[in-house]
Amino acid sequence: MEKNKNCVKNMHGHGPSPIPQEGKWDQTKEITQISGFSHGCGTCAPQQGACKLTLNVKNGIIKEALIETIGCSGMTHSAAMAGEILTGKTLLEALNTDLVCDAINDAMKNIFLQLVYGRSQSAFSLGGLEVGSSMEDLGKHKTSQVGTIVSTEEGGVRYLNLTEGYITKMALDKNGETIGYEYVNLGLLLKNLQDKNLTKEEAIEKSTKHYGRFDEACRIVNPREE
């Protein structure tokens, strides 16, 4: 039989499916064509902690990285190392780099998939997001938004930390249900403590605020002592 006589041709010119990237639809074939801003979350092997990884990628190069972890002390220190490792690498280099902690490596895998499939936060933002955008997630005082709540069947719920800060008091209504709380914004507190015109007590007072219907409380509870 004559060679290749019955060959059925493939559609070589079709190319990859286009993905949304920074306001455009791109058919990406090389890692250097990937651009985007997104987040990825991962857990460590025994799932005793988690990492939220934020990357800002321009033409395949990681220009900005934000690593937030909650878990063991080793994980938080690994985040410091990952911060030194990630920027300047291509997205593929970072994927194939040991980022020390399983949770951070897992987050890297998840964010890689999002970016190469066009599932980024900046997919439809023309030109993408500028370097420094991840810092906006940290809020005015550049601290992670952390929520820590503990609850027991007998004692009920206790708010310890929420987005606004360190909870010092919980406000309850006549039914014993939470209607608000008092908190200290730790970022603002540290700033006020550096003000030589303020006493320690004044710095704390200026950093303390209320949320919800705190003024309507029938009872105030200290979540750490009661």
Mean pLDDT over all residues of the chain?
Answer: 92
Q: Is residue 5 part of a domain?
A: no
Q: Is residue 183 part of a domain?
A: yes
**Helix (H) or strand (E) run with residue 91 in it:** helix 91-95
Q: Is residue 23 part of a domain?
A: yes
Range of the domain at 170: 148-221
Q: Is residue 6 part of a domain?
A: no
Q: What is the tens place of the pLDDT at every residue in 57-106?
A: 999 999 999 999 998 888 889 999 999 999 999 999 999 999 989 999 99
Q: What is the tens place of the pLDDT at every residue in 192-220?
A: 999 999 999 999 999 999 999 999 999 99
CB distance 56 to 37 below 8 Å:
yes
Query: Which CATH number belongs to the domain containing residue 74 in this structure?
Result: 3.90.1010.10
Rounded to two decimals, the pTM is 0.82
pLDDT of residue 3: 67
Q: Is residue 13 part of a domain?
A: no
182 and 160 within one domain: yes
Q: Structural domain tally of the chain? A: 2
Nearest Cα neighbor of 60 from 24, 89, 21 is 89
130 and 24 within one domain: yes
Asked if pLDDT for residue 1 goes beyond 60, the answer is no
Reported as a pLDDT band with limits 50, 70 and 90, residue 8 is confident
